[in-house]
Each structure stands twice: as C-alpha cells, then as structure tokens.
Structure 1
Amino acid sequence: MTDTVHVALYDTFVDWEIGYAIDHINNPEWQKTPGRYAVATVGATTAPVTSTGGLRMLPDTTLDDLDPRGSAMLILAGNNIWNTDTFTPFAEKAGEFLRAGVPVAAICGATGGLALAGLLDEHAHTSNAAEFLDGVGYAGGSRYRDEPAVTDRDLITASGIAPVHFAREIFRRLDLYEPDVLDAWFALYGLRDPAGFYALANR
C-alpha cells in the first residue's frame, strides 16, 4: 500500500526549496520500504499554477477534497503570497492536518503564513530569521530556534536557504531511510562529502 505525501501548489511557489524532498520521496533507491510513498499535488482549485522558476503545473486534487486521514504529510513551499488571503486556505488546511496528528512541513515564506495562522505559537520552529516572523506579530517568538530546520512533534519548519536540511527532517519524520543511510545522504547532499556517495553506492 502506498501512502501519499501531498505538496501544496500555488502561484509563486518556490520549486527548488522542495526539490530534494520530493525527488527522493519518489525515488525508491536506498529506501527502507521502496515504493511506500508517492507524491501528489494539491491546489486551491485544479487550475494551473506557476512557480517562481516558471514551471506551470496542474494540481492533482483540491484542498476541499483533501482529508488529512488520507495523507502522510503536507509540504508547503515558500512563496510570495504567504501574507495574503490567497494563502489562507493552505494555512487552514495545515492546521487541520496538525489537529489530526498528520505532519506538516513548511519552508521559507510558508512559515510566515503558518505564523499568521497561529500555528507556530505552540511549537518550536524556525524560519528565514527571527525578525521575519516577529514582523507578523505572532505569539510564538519565544519558541523560535536559530537553526536551518526544526522538527517539533508533527511540525517541520525550515529556512528558505536550507532545502537539504528541510528534506532531511522530512525523510526522518517519514522514516524513509535507515539512520545510517540518512546520515550518508546528508553527508553527500548537505555537506558535499564524497564519503556519503560511496556509502550509498556500496549499499
């Protein structure tokens, strides 16, 4: 049985911030249970959206049709609409996921949208900078951590310049790899250490 990881799509989503995560979730190589997960996309509607890199994509499903009980995780990329009403339905769906005990992973501007929705107030979290979140007037400042990525229970947050750290936290939460494989993966992609490549190649 395949579990679905849902990736939110909206205009101006930052495609490269989620590239490491979705590519390796879909790639069965090195996985503990190859084929356990598949990636699907979700939009406010099924109309095309365009990323900051100019990729035009069609969501597989809509927020209205997405039930957290049928998902393994919701991933939210950074964007230029996080502080507008256009992003609000995505933040509301993230809250629904968290209340259902299903993990949410947000990076860059998406963390600002979650802060505005009050979803960071009770979780340790990070973002692009403490000052970025302080500017939204949220109540979770004491829980901010100056780290590339932070996982607290079912919530993963990351700085927009830490897509590899973000992916590592996602993989860990999904139990995608054995710990030694995850360490080797991060050594290769996060630290550019050739030892990570040889460790993976020799499995």
Structure 2
Amino acid sequence: MKKTVHVGIYDTMADWETGHATAHLRSGRFHREPGGYELVTVALTAEPITTMGGLRVTPDLTLDRLDPAGSALLILAGADLWDQGDELAPFARKAREFLDAGVPVAAICGATAGLAREGLLDDRDHTSAVVHYLAAQDGYAGAGRYLDEDAVTGGDLITAGPTEPVAFAREILRRLDVCRPDVLDAWFRLHSRSDASAYEVLMTA
C-alpha cells in the first residue's frame, strides 16, 4: 500500500519549488521500495486554486479534514499570500499538529515565514531566504537556530530558501529514507550540478 504525502496548495503558490520533490516521490524511481508515494493536494476550501505559474489545480482534500496520522509528510511551498496577511496561517497551525504528532513537515521560501510566525522555528535548526526575512516576522525568536545552508533538516522539520528546490527535495528524500545514500547523492549531483558522473550510479540503482 502506497504511503501518502500531502501537499498544501493555495493561490499564488510557487509551483516550481516543490516539483523536484513531488515528481520523484510519485515516480518511485530509484526508491528502496517499489511503488512510489501517493500525492494528495490540500487546500483551505474545495475550490480550485491558481498557482503563481497560472496553473489551475483542484484540491483533493480540505485542510480541516487532514489528519497527520494518515500522512508521511506535509509539504508547504512559498506563495505571495504568505507575505500578505494571515490567510495561510491555518497551514502553519496544521504544521504544528504534524510536528506535535511526530510527522515531518517540509517548508520552502515564504512558507518558512508562516512557520516562523507560528513559533515553529524557535527551537529547531532551520534556514530560509536570509535570516533578516524571518527576523521581520512577528513571533520569530529562532535566529540562534538559523543556518546559512541550502536546505536544513531539524528533527522533523525541513526548510529551504526560494532558490533551492533541488536541495529541498534532497532533504525530503533523505528524511523519508526513499533512496540509498549513494543514489541520493548522485541524484542531487545530477540535478544541482549537471554532474555527468552521477549517471553511472543512477543507471545501476
């Protein structure tokens, strides 16, 4: 039976930030176990959303029905809405539910600001665009745990800045133990650096 990964979707969602992670999770390619993951999109309402790239997406599930017990991971992408008020705050509160239940959460770009306002970064290693971006968020007191890295896993929380969708995917795949370490390293070298030597590892995986 496939494990389920939930992906938060909302208007102005930065659709490119999660593409490497979701495509690899769904494909099952190079996975330790065959079959891949089922991806379920989650929105505030049942109405379609429009991503920053103009894609219209109909959600599979509403946020109020999302139970961490039925999930392997919650992914939250950036969006203009994270910086324009509290409309997406329910996703940050749901992230708290996931973390309290011991279920991983992965947030990139503006979603890290939403988690900062919820206080979820204060006691966990994390990253974002720059520390000053998070420092401007009400409620953030985690500057001492900020790491200037491409992506960071702090326990059950994965974070990355807006320019690091491949590193974000790497941390997700590592946290879920999707691939052998040598395969994951080769996958990352290929997609982040166009390292042709990675092909040999991937073709024999």
Place the TM-score, normalised by the shorter chain, in its bin. Answer: over 0.9
Q: What's the counterpart of residue 179 of structure 2?
A: 177
Q: What's the counterpart of residue 97 of structure 1?
A: 98
- The alpha-carbon deviation at position 71 of structure 1 amounts to 0.3
- The alpha-carbon deviation at position 198 of structure 1 amounts to 2.5
- Asked if 1 retains the 8 angstrom alpha-carbon contact of 2:29 and 2:36, the reply is no
- The alpha-carbon deviation at position 37 of structure 1 amounts to 1.7
- Residue 146 of structure 2 is aligned with which of 141, 144, 147? 144
3-state DSSP of counterpart to 1:190 = helix
- Residue 191 of structure 2 is aligned with which of 189, 192, 197? 189
3-state DSSP of counterpart to 1:114 = helix
Alpha-carbon deviations, 1:74-131, whole Å to 9, x = none? Answer: 0000011114221111001000000000000000000000001111111010000011
Q: What's the counterpart of residue 59 of structure 1?
A: 59
Alpha-carbon distance between aligned partners in 2 of 1:36 and 1:51, rounded to the nearest angstrom:
25
- Opposite residue 191 of structure 2, the aligned amino acid is Y
- Opposite residue 5 of structure 2, the aligned amino acid is V
Alpha-carbon distance between aligned partners in 2 of 1:28 and 1:134, rounded to the nearest angstrom:
38
Alpha-carbon distance between aligned partners in 2 of 1:62 and 1:72, rounded to the nearest angstrom:
17
Q: What's the counterpart of residue 125 of structure 2?
A: 124
Q: What's the counterpart of residue 6 of structure 2?
A: 6
- Asked if 1 retains the 8 angstrom alpha-carbon contact of 2:20 and 2:166, the reply is yes
- Asked if 1 retains the 8 angstrom alpha-carbon contact of 2:27 and 2:36, the reply is no
Q: What percentage of residue pairs aligned between the two structures are identical?
A: 55
TM-score normalised to structure 2 length: 0.97
- After superposition, the CA RMSD in angstroms is 0.9
Q: What's the counterpart of residue 77 of structure 2?
A: 77
- The alpha-carbon deviation at position 64 of structure 1 amounts to 0.8
Alpha-carbon distance between aligned partners in 2 of 1:127 and 1:106, rounded to the nearest angstrom:
9
**Structure 1 runs (4+) greater than 2 angstroms displaced:** none
Alpha-carbon deviations, 1:141-173, whole Å to 9, x = none? Answer: 111100110001100000110000000000001
The yes-or-no answer on 1:109 pairing with 2:103 is: no
TM-score normalised to structure 1 length: 0.98
Q: What's the counterpart of residue 44 of structure 2?
A: 44
The yes-or-no answer on 1:35 pairing with 2:44 is: no
Out of 3-12 and 36-45, give the one that drifted further: 36-45
- The alpha-carbon deviation at position 202 of structure 1 amounts to 2.9
- The alpha-carbon deviation at position 36 of structure 1 amounts to 4.5
Aligned residues: 203
Out of 80-89 and 2-11, give the one that drifted further: 80-89
Alpha-carbon distance between aligned partners in 2 of 1:108 and 1:159, rounded to the nearest angstrom:
5
Out of 94-103 and 137-146, give the one that drifted further: 137-146
Out of 18-27 and 78-87, give the one that drifted further: 78-87
- Opposite residue 142 of structure 2, the aligned amino acid is G
